[in-house]
Structure 1
Amino acid sequence: MRAYRGELRKLGSLPSVWAAVAVGVLVPAALTFLNAKSAVAAGRGGNADVGFQELAFGVVGAIILGVVAVSSEYTTEGENAGGGRQIATSLTIVPSRGRLLIAKLAAVITAVAALAVVSSAITLTTVEALLDAGDLARLPGVVLYWVLTALFASGLTLVTRNGILPLVVLILNTSVVTITYLLTKLTPLAVYFPDLAGVRLFIRRMDLPVQLSPITGGLVMTAWVAALLTAGFLVFRGRDA
């Protein structure tokens, strides 16, 4: 528990984590407000996924949090620094790499789950206020998707030991050019990429060649995350601090 509390305090001390919180809360809420106002002005109701589509973009906040939770351990200057890499201090306090990683991932899960709940509450309240619509039954799917995405980001960062590549790849694929979606035009197997499979946890209408159920999509994404975290742990355990 002490290691877990220490990781939570460490996350709270990172300015980039608070930037992630701002992105995760403000982006989906703002997009939902604009889209819902446009729908009202046009005299039409929102589609079945209004609010939830915007929450799929808001997962950028979870990506940032998942990446910096790991990458901050390897910074030599900046947020944690004090002139040296944080990982040396972390391993001095918690010598067991397995225990340290479990505590770190538990802190990420806690922070991202809380962020997802707050963001979803604000976004879906906006939908309810403007369109008299919303589906709270899908809220657990949103939370699970955000948590799994953050863990995937953390696993990728464990492998690369650098936050730049995971941030660029994952944020671009989520918010600018959805490469995995474009790949579905070439092969139906692309629907089994973690982001497209996982988003089925709460998005109901998607133009995909294979329609996965929420349970199947969640299981597929969980398998990806488990595989990447396993690879990340093996790399983390074998590398020098």
Structure 2
Amino acid sequence: MPASSRATFDVQPGPRTTMARAVRAETTKLLTLRLCFNTMAGTVLLTVFLSWILTNLIDAAHKAGRPEEAAGLEGGTAFLVILHYGQIGVILLAAWSMHQESDSGSLRSTLISLPQRSAVLAAKAIVIVAAVFITAVLSVFGSAGIRCVVIDCTTETSQITATPQAASGILWGVVLYWILIALFTYALSVVLRSGLAAMGTVLAMALIVSTYMVNITPLAKFLPDQAGAQLYQLPPSAPGDLGPATGGLVLAAWVVAALVAALVLFRRQPVRR
């Protein structure tokens, strides 16, 4: 083999090197985008702060002998309501990671430097999962901990569930749900070629549409957000509920289907200038 050919062969990056480069590049982009970092920090601070406020309000209502003002909530578990709406932050984070590149035209530069589109798509997904994981852990466990500043978490009535293991499962269920719903949003933003459209679609489904659909058809429980919410529902399960394991698998199936569709379309789509 000629020396020039050997030199050319030696510098060809392998799959691991290519993926590592892609992940580093996507991490740098995320850390340098002020909106993404602010979204992560804002999600953590808001969920923890609002959990503290809601716990205060619910605890005050019960102590004042006005449980009707608590709307059926208990001080020990009221923060789960805030965590349900906390998904807005990670949905925004996932949608913006694709929107900021495709809308500004910088995606073209990314693909010129790294033509392997599957690697680009996978690297973005890895970085999103890492960012959402950090955001979710701080938000979920921070919210669970801040309630103990207001109430005595050692009492039986203030505990999340009957056992610490079950309580931990619910908290990690929220973390897993946030990761999966963020991945679903990211994949949908690739399919729709618009982060804003994906964000609007998922938010409308999770906060409005599915809430009404469950009263119309039992099939609504198979929607991504309804199925995924089973991961952190308090026991006992209502009749007809999917349960945490089945609900998690249904959401995971939605995510896999969306990612496959995103990969197929991303490989074929022309890149906007």
Q: Is the 2:227–2:242 Cα contact (8 Å) retained in structure 1?
A: yes
> For residue 80 of structure 1, what is the aligned residue in structure 2?
none
> For residue 40 of structure 2, what is the aligned residue in structure 1?
21
1:170 paired with 2:164, answer no
Q: Distance in 1 between matches of 2:30 and 2:107?
A: 14
Q: Distance in 2 between matches of 1:159 and 1:208?
A: 35
> For residue 210 of structure 1, what is the aligned residue in structure 2?
240
**Aligned residue type for 1:9:** T
After TM superposition, the structure 1 stretch with the greater mean CA deviation from structure 2, 198-207 or 34-43, is: 198-207
> For residue 145 of structure 2, what is the aligned residue in structure 1?
125
> Shift of residue 184 of structure 1?
0.9
1:209-228 aligned within 5 A: 210-228=240-258
After TM superposition, the structure 1 stretch with the greater mean CA deviation from structure 2, 32-41 or 143-152, is: 32-41
> For residue 176 of structure 2, what is the aligned residue in structure 1?
144
After TM superposition, the structure 1 stretch with the greater mean CA deviation from structure 2, 49-58 or 153-162, is: 49-58
> For residue 90 of structure 1, what is the aligned residue in structure 2?
110
Q: Secondary structure at the match of 1:42?
A: helix
Q: Is the 2:47–2:139 Cα contact (8 Å) retained in structure 1?
A: yes
- Any stretches of 5+ residues in structure 1 without a counterpart? 77-84
TM-score by length of 1: 0.88
> Shift of residue 56 of structure 1?
1.4
- Any stretches of 5+ residues in structure 2 without a counterpart? 1-19, 64-72, 154-158, 161-166
Q: Is the 1:49–1:205 Cα contact (8 Å) retained in structure 2?
A: no
> For residue 8 of structure 1, what is the aligned residue in structure 2?
27
Q: Is the 2:230–2:242 Cα contact (8 Å) retained in structure 1?
A: yes
**Aligned residue type for 1:61:** G
Q: Distance in 1 between matches of 2:238 and 2:169?
A: 23
The percent of aligned pairs where both chains have the same amino acid is 30
> Shift of residue 138 of structure 1?
2.0
Query: Which portions of structure 1, spanning 4 or more consecutive aligned residues, are displaced by more than 6 angstroms?
Result: 205-209
> Shift of residue 120 of structure 1?
1.1
> For residue 101 of structure 1, what is the aligned residue in structure 2?
121
Provide the alpha-carbon RMSD of the alignment: 2.1
> For residue 34 of structure 1, what is the aligned residue in structure 2?
53
1:156 paired with 2:156, answer no
Q: Secondary structure at the match of 1:233?
A: helix
Q: Is the 2:221–2:227 Cα contact (8 Å) retained in structure 1?
A: yes
> Shift of residue 87 of structure 1?
0.9
Q: Distance in 1 between matches of 2:248 and 2:131?
A: 20
1:191 paired with 2:221, answer yes
> Structure 1, residues 153-195: CA drift from partner, whole Å, max 9, x if none?
1011001111221222223444xx4211210111011011000
Q: Distance in 2 between matches of 1:5 and 1:211?
A: 41
> Shift of residue 207 of structure 1?
9.6
Cα gap change, 1:40 to 1:49, in 2 (>3 Å): closer
Q: Distance in 1 between matches of 2:84 and 2:146?
A: 16
Cα gap change, 1:120 to 1:23, in 2 (>3 Å): same
Q: Distance in 1 between matches of 2:32 and 2:24?
A: 13
Q: Distance in 1 between matches of 2:187 and 2:224?
A: 13
How many equivalent residue pairs?
A: 231
Q: Distance in 2 between matches of 1:91 and 1:172?
A: 32
Q: Distance in 2 between matches of 1:36 and 1:11?
A: 33
Q: Secondary structure at the match of 1:67?
A: helix
After TM superposition, the structure 1 stretch with the greater mean CA deviation from structure 2, 146-155 or 202-211, is: 202-211
> Shift of residue 208 of structure 1?
6.9
**Aligned residue type for 1:13:** T
